[in-house]
Structure 1
Amino acid sequence: MSVPSILRTAARNFLPPGRGSSRLRCRALSSCSNTRKMSSKRQMDHLEKTSKDYRQNAVYPAQVCGIIQESDTVKRLRISVHPDFTFKAGQWVDFFIPGVEKVGGFSMCSCPGLLQREGVIELAVKKALHPPAHWIHTACTVGAHVAMRVGGNFFFDPRPTDPPADLLLVAGGVGINPLYSVLLHAAHLARQHHASGGRDYRMGSAHMLYSAKSVQELLFKNTILELSREFPGQFSCDLRVTEPSQDPARDQDILPVTRRGRITEADLRAHVDPQRTLCYLCGPPPMIEAISQSLIDLGLPKDRILFEKWW
């Protein structure tokens, strides 16, 4: 099967001026189509791990304008960015912190529409000893100055003339970040299509399969559920928890729409159409490897399985 037109468009849109287009297009497509070697090394430096991925040339100054405690272990930053800053839903940033030698790598958890409306992006970062994450959880304050550079071949950015795709978004833990960005962008496209009377891109369906250890670690769950209610029959979700709650009373509002256990092949089968499904995966390597193989076994072509790993 040929590479889907959405993927061709994604590669074409990110050819930087002055470089050989055919060479970079092939590199972007090979990264998106599951040919990048899957490694389970968890301590590889961000710049080393992404050295072959696309990244913009410009590094933009930015300023933290809001900090939200998203969960017990995750902080969400709102960051005011330079007017020329742009990104595609699903991409990440090289995150430069004054006085911190290590460069962070964090996926946007907001969509391009928020950037257009308010001039900000959002990052959700889990507590860790890695210096950039440690700084965010212990030293970052509103008003702090940082710098960012956009990169990544993992994104969803269809043209108005592209055929509708049915998205299957499979997330594990904080791997939700880029997929939440993609989901928000899909909702934006669905609203645009309706507002334009059908002239803009016609969004297919979008199903989110999201697994975390606890209900508290299911980030953005309320918005995910709201989108399923806003687009009934088009958007849907399956929220999974792998460890029992320590405080059921705290979770009583969300527990009725969650299920216990890991994502299974049966969960995937219900949402895989080899001709229409475009699957985005992000989570721990063992999860991504197992789910990728299950999708292939279900007949989904490799070039319709896109993944991003951060462990």
Structure 2
Amino acid sequence: MGSRCFLSSAARRFVQPSLLRCCRLPGPTKRRNMSSKRQTSVDHLEKTASNYRQNDLYPAQVCGITDESETVKRLRIAVSPDFSFKAGQWVDFFIPGVETVGGFSMCSCPGLLQKEGVVELAVKYTKHPPAHWIHTMCTVGSRVAMRVGGDFVFNPAPSDPSIDLLLVAGGVGINPLYSILLHTAGLLHLNQASGGRDYKIGSAHLCYSAKNTQELLFKSSIIEACREFPDKLSCDLHVTQQSTDVDSHLQPFINRGRITEEELQAHVDPQRTLCFLCGPRPMIEALSKTLMDFGLPKDRILFEKWW
């Protein structure tokens, strides 16, 4: 992923008290008074009030910005050595001068944090203040703060039994699932190095749907991981509104149209499968019912709710 990003000494002095004065940090369950222009949607802190979140807020500094697609920016963020997270989790994202707290899933894996001291976020453009700031005002060197939360995690221990993962994503719902896929690939690398003594890793299959190939985030590295571990990792990438031809190198992995029931059923074993879903609400609700109809127990269907 390139050279290691270091949190500068200046950023390390960007301590919590000064940030709290800028951001007016509320507790996770605090409700803001509504003006006559009532908010049309519940904010991130309210939506996630019942979720696990860490107590500590960590200073961080943006050290890289790339365009992941025409509508999505990918931030590379240097963090404190004490910062930690599990694959699939999100952050409360605090921006000095912006009252609204953002909520964004990590799209990187814990292994990148351990190696390079950074995490990555992929944020789609909207007018929501934190996303709007990222797309219009954020620069390399911008200082922010983050707090980790979320119960949507894949964090196996070496002693855990082998399971098979089914990862189902719609649009930018790919972010936490990409983190989980990368983490799985990282554990497979550890097993290669140890001769299979570290973790009991089953298979992982990703079903991912977006409007077109341009909006299929991380597609090249997803395909690369599947080619590196063809007996363990696989993917079906779907485009629902593709008006042009698909690039030849992507064609073997691309399906036109939505994710099908037949495709899901082929990767469901009620005894072994653990499914992670993240995407638009109608998709999550429909696919959860479909998976239960296939015999997958409700407690083996995990989903991230961003509505």
TM-score band, normalised by shorter chain: 0.7 to 0.9
2:227 to 207, 226, 229: 229
2:290 to 287, 294, 307: 294
Give SS of 2:302's match: strand
Which structure has the higher relative contact order (CA within 8 Å, separation 6+)? 1
Paired with 2:253 and 2:201, the residues of 1 have a C-alpha distance of 25
Paired with 2:178 and 2:139, the residues of 1 have a C-alpha distance of 25
Alignment of 1:159-174 (within 5 A): 159-174=157-172
What's 1:82 paired with?
Answer: 80
Q: Is the 8 A contact 1:189 1:202 kept in 2?
A: no
Alignment of 1:169-208 (within 5 A): 169-208=167-206
Paired with 1:210 and 1:260, the residues of 2 have a C-alpha distance of 11
What's 2:133 paired with?
Answer: 135
Q: Is the 8 A contact 1:100 1:131 kept in 2?
A: yes
Q: Is the 8 A contact 1:190 1:202 kept in 2?
A: no
Paired with 2:190 and 2:263, the residues of 1 have a C-alpha distance of 30
Q: Is the 8 A contact 1:83 1:119 kept in 2?
A: yes
Paired with 1:232 and 1:307, the residues of 2 have a C-alpha distance of 26
Q: Is the 8 A contact 1:278 1:304 kept in 2?
A: yes
What's 2:268 paired with?
Answer: 272
User: Structure 1's 256 and 196: CA in aligned 2 closer, same or farther, altered over 3 A?
Assistant: closer
- The aligned amino acid for 2:50 is K
Bigger radius of gyration: 2
2:245 to 248, 254, 260: 248
Paired with 1:59 and 1:201, the residues of 2 have a C-alpha distance of 31
Q: Is the 8 A contact 2:59 2:143 kept in 1?
A: yes
Q: Is the 8 A contact 2:261 2:290 kept in 1?
A: yes
State the Cα RMSD in Å.
1.3
TM-score normalised to structure 1 length:
0.84
Q: Give the ranges of 4+ consecutive aligned residues of structure 1 lying more than 6 Å apart after TM superposition.
A: none
Paired with 1:254 and 1:160, the residues of 2 have a C-alpha distance of 34
1:283 to 279, 284, 289: 279
What's 2:109 paired with?
Answer: 111
Q: Is the 8 A contact 1:55 1:150 kept in 2?
A: yes
What's 1:309 paired with?
Answer: 305
Q: Is the 8 A contact 2:235 2:253 kept in 1?
A: no
The number of residue pairs the alignment matches comes to: 269
Q: Structure 1, unaligned stretches of length 5 or more? A: 1-40
Q: Structure 2, unaligned stretches of length 5 or more? A: 1-38
What's 2:16 paired with?
Answer: none
1:152 aligns with 2:169: no
What is the percent sequence identity of the aligned residues? 72
- Give per-residue Cα distances to partners, 1:249-280, cap 9 Å, x unaligned: 7x443244211111111111000000000000
TM-score normalised to structure 2 length:
0.86
